[in-house]
Structure 1
Amino acid sequence: MMHLTSILTIVLVACATLSAQLNQLAVAAGFKYFGTAVDNPGLNSQAYMNIASNKNEFGQVTPANVQKWDSTERSQGQFSYANGDAVTSKARQASQLLRCHTLVWHSQLPSWVNNINGRDAMTRVLQTHIQNVAGHYKGQCYAWDVVNEALEDSGTYRNSPMYRALGKDFIPLAFQAAAAADPDAKLYYNDHNIENPGAKYNEALNIVRSIKAAGARVDGVGLQAHFIVGQTPSLTNLKTVLTGFAALVDEVAYTELDIRHPRLPASDSDRQQQSRDCQTVAQACLDTPKCIGITVWDFADQYYWVPQTFPGQGDACLGNSNLQKKPAYTGLVNLFTSAAAYATHDIDKCYHSSSTTLSRSTSTTSPPAPEATQTRYGQCGGSNHLGPTRCAAGSSCTVLNPWYHQCL
């Protein structure tokens, strides 16, 4: 059995900018991927794309907006894929998985869809749209978010044009059409505010059951995980919900993770709380066998959606507008490093931003040298921790949870 020496932890927290490692570590810890959403404005920034297209950092990409209905079929029967292809082609070139998003949603609909009346007419519209869009990307998408946000937060159905014309039947109909158009893609129901037990979670379970009862295929449930710092669900609640969905489908995932500050500017303690919240979400996924990965809803604040929707709030990403990583990023790196060591008890190598291979120890019992000191924000203890346990001057080892202690 072989373990990394204490240099691993030190190097992991030393880099000042986002570096190529997060997806590598998440996969080593047991995930299928750690991914990010990418929107077209980011394509114009080489510095941004150097990170977004680095598979070591992000093994999966979700086109944030450009596969939605108002982008792909703005006029009825006239399809356009240029913007979507701009994102998907970059991901394919980087050998990243694609989570394609989304075929049916009540928002970002072109106005003509609202004018479709009657069951037969809406059925034709839905089937035509899905056949064309999913068909265009056939074989490219690991997964499709087939239906997005069908429910109000109360657990009732949204009064969308699809629901008005077809009732609840629009959902299995969409899944049937998606399965026919892209048979190898995993088909997901995706929603927000279903991460806690409650009425909306219960109705989302019923949606999955109804899809299966109709004879359609549903492979997964995506939990968006748009949270607020300090208000993230507890680890117990997160795991309860993941387990509930996992009992019905083959896989679950966090598909749009961001944790925004309700007030800006954020303080140091706010940023530490954001880091703890991110780790709680990641731990819930690690603890759930069918949870295959996490997608952040962009990785840098410069292209982030929250300030336009919730003025005065934001800074929810792992990196800031200058692509500098935050404590939330470092916390995830350290959590995945610890989880990977616990899962495998053998990490042969790890890379920092310059791809330098780190040394490893062949001893199964040797503890870190007594004089080893962990840097501020680095891991200093927790389940299976093998690195330094003493913190640098000005910080102390703080127990955040049983598996992760941090120098704060």
Structure 2
Amino acid sequence: MLAAPVPALAAPASNAADPAPADPAQTDRGSHGRTPRDLRELAHKTGVRFGSAVDVAALRAERDYRTVLNREFTHVTAENAMKWESVEPQRGVFTWADADAVVENARRNGQKVRGHTLVWHNQLPAWLTTGVENGTISDTELRKILRDHVTTQVSRYRGKIRAWDVVNEVVDDDGAMRQTIWLTHLGPGYIADVFRWARKADPHVKLYINDYNLEWNTAKIDTTLAIVKDLQAKRVPIDGIGFQGHLGIQYDYPGDWANVMRRFTDLGLEAAVTEMDVRMILPVTPEKLATQADYYGRALSDCLSVPACREFTVWGFTDRHSWVPGWFDGEGAACLFDESLAPKPAYRRLLATSRP
């Protein structure tokens, strides 16, 4: 998921005054026969973890943001703080403070963590891309750099991360393998390599392949299925498939999404909705909000209809910090809460959704 890099931040503010919810895995909040009061209770009722991407600057600076994040969600993903340019902006110089802040806040609030992402073609540090382009980093050295990056990051958070997006967006929209520095200089075998390196660094973490438009793009679906089957045939450890779920109400809802999930889970994978949002062409109207709520509800229903769908994560929960306006001109209002952190119809629709 491409989003604007997080700027340098001050030291983490203390959350000592924030209420710390109980661990949902250990507490029965008793939603029997009624609509759950919040997403944590819905998570307990359905058995599906509800997550959000986390803006680290907001986590530190905005108490109301922290309060909603920690009240509502049982799972979190660092929006940018674990991407390569964030954790190693200079070669050999690691900056873990932002990623650590997300992991520590999750620990205090009984939340699991999705690591995002180990290998991607975007948001790479300039020292790496420049070195590859000018030839000062050879293909042999690049492979070692990649192995060291995966090993270092996964090892640092061993036992603290539930699942990693190991490779992100490796298939292009036409179904071809995406032309990246990894494919160009290391060949397609880099995918198997990074999964093996990640498993060695943390034997118990779930390892995912993650992509956008996988909900409906037939060419991308078929190629990703082929990658998974090839990895499994080679006994490469892969545990899950991540559907980003970036939707827009100006497009049809991907009505076959549940069946697509099953094509992957039938291979023994668990599935997750990893980056859900539903944008609209502005301005906001009640009719658009109703359609947005319908899309969110249908997406959750699709996940709940597939037993191996284990997580439903939104890519930011408030329009105050959504990535959408910066990337889609004239579009926005994609999240469950508005800029004032008031819940939208989509939020209430999720609470009213139950397993089929």
Shift of 1:239: 1.2
- Would you say 1:97 and 2:112 are equivalent positions? yes
Does 2:75 match 1:60?
Answer: yes
Given that 1:195 and 1:233 are in contact with CA atoms closer than 8 Å, whether structure 2 keeps it comes out as no
Letter in 2 for 1:53: N
Letter in 1 for 2:333: D
State the partner residue of 2:166.
146
Count of aligned pairs between the two proteins: 321
Cα distance between partner residues in 2 of 1:162 and 1:283: 36
Deviations 1:145-196 (A, max 9, x none): 0001111111112221111111211111110111111111000000001111
**Residue in 1 that maps onto 2:22:** none
8 A Cα contact 2:43 2:74, kept in partner: no
Distance 1:4 1:165, change over 3 A: closer
Contact 1:222 1:253 (8 Å CA) reproduced: yes
Deviations 1:325-354 (A, max 9, x none): 100000111113xx3xx7xxxxxxxxxxxx
Number of the residue aligned with 1:128:
148
Q: Aligned runs of 1:181-196 on 2, under 5 Å? A: 181-196=201-216
2:55 — aligned with what? 39
Return closer, same or farther for 1:134/1:308 CA change in 2, 3 Å cut-off. same
Aligned equivalents of 1:74 and 1:207: distance in 2? 31
Mapped to 2, the partners of 1:3 and 1:217 lie a distance apart of 37
Equivalent residue for 1:323, pick from 329, 332, 341: 341
In the TM superposition, residue 213 of structure 1 has moved relative to its aligned partner by 2.9
For the aligned residue pairs, the C-alpha RMSD in angstroms reads 1.8
1:16 matched to which residue of 2? none
1:357 maps to none
In structure 2, the CA distance between the partners of 1:334 and 1:230, relative to structure 1 (3 Å rule), is farther
> Match of 1:196, as an amino acid?
W
Query: Aligned pair 1:255/2:274, yes or no?
Result: yes
Equivalence for 1:217? 237
> 2:173 touches 2:217 (CA, 8 Å); kept in 1?
no
Specify the alignment match of 1:238 in structure 2: 257
2:189 is paired with a residue of what secondary structure?
helix
| 189-198 vs 115-124, which moves further | 115-124
Question: 1:30·1:286 contact (CA, 8 Å) conserved in 2?
Answer: no
- Which of 43, 52, 62 is matched with 1:26 structurally? 43
Tell me how far apart the structure 2 counterparts of residues 294 and 172 of structure 1 sit (CA, whole Å).
Answer: 26
Q: CA deviation at 1:118?
A: 4.3
The residue type paired with residue 267 of structure 1 is: T
Distance 2:43 2:109 in 1: 18
Residue of structure 1 in register with 2:126 after alignment: 111
Per the alignment, in what secondary structure is the counterpart of residue 158 of structure 2? coil
What amino acid sits opposite 2:272 in the alignment? Answer: A
- 2:173 corresponds to 1:158: no
Alignment of 1:253-402 (within 5 A): 253-261=272-280, 263-336=281-354, 339=355
Measured in 1, the distance between the counterparts of 2:31 and 2:214 equals 39
3-state secondary structure, aligned to 1:102: strand
1:23/1:35 contact within 8 Å kept: no
The separation in 2 between residues aligned to 1:3 and 1:320, in whole angstroms, is 26
Which residue identity lines up with residue 236 of structure 2 in the other structure? A
- Distance in 2 (alpha carbons) for counterparts of 1:152 and 1:4: 44
Residue 111 (structure 1) shift: 1.9
Query: Structure 2 counterpart of 1:330, which letter?
Result: R
Query: Residues 289-348 of structure 1: CA distance to partner in whole angstroms, max 9, x if unpaired?
Result: 111120000110111101111121010000001000100000111113xx3xx7xxxxxx
Match of 2:227 in 1: 207
1:168 counterpart SS class: coil
Q: Could you report, residue by residue, the CA deviation over 1:257-278 in whole angstroms, capped at 9, with x for unpaired residues?
A: 00000x1112111100000011
Contact 2:282–2:332 under 8 Å retained in 1: yes
Q: 1: CA distance between counterparts of 2:54 and 2:197?
A: 26
Letter of the aligned partner of 1:240 in structure 2? N
Question: 2 CA distance for matches of 1:221 and 1:4?
Answer: 31
* Identical residues among aligned pairs (%): 36
* Inter-partner Cα distance in structure 2 for 1:153 and 1:206: 15
Is the contact between residue 296 and residue 350 of structure 2 (CA under 8 Å) also seen in structure 1? Answer: yes
Report if aligned partners of 1:172, 1:210 keep a CA contact under 8 Å in 2.
no
CA contact (8 A) 1:113 1:161 kept: no
Q: Do the aligned partners of 1:39 and 1:63 also contact (CA within 8 Å) in 2?
A: yes
- TM-score where L is the length of structure 1: 0.75
Letter in 2 for 1:107: N
Contact 1:35 1:294 in 2 (8 A): yes
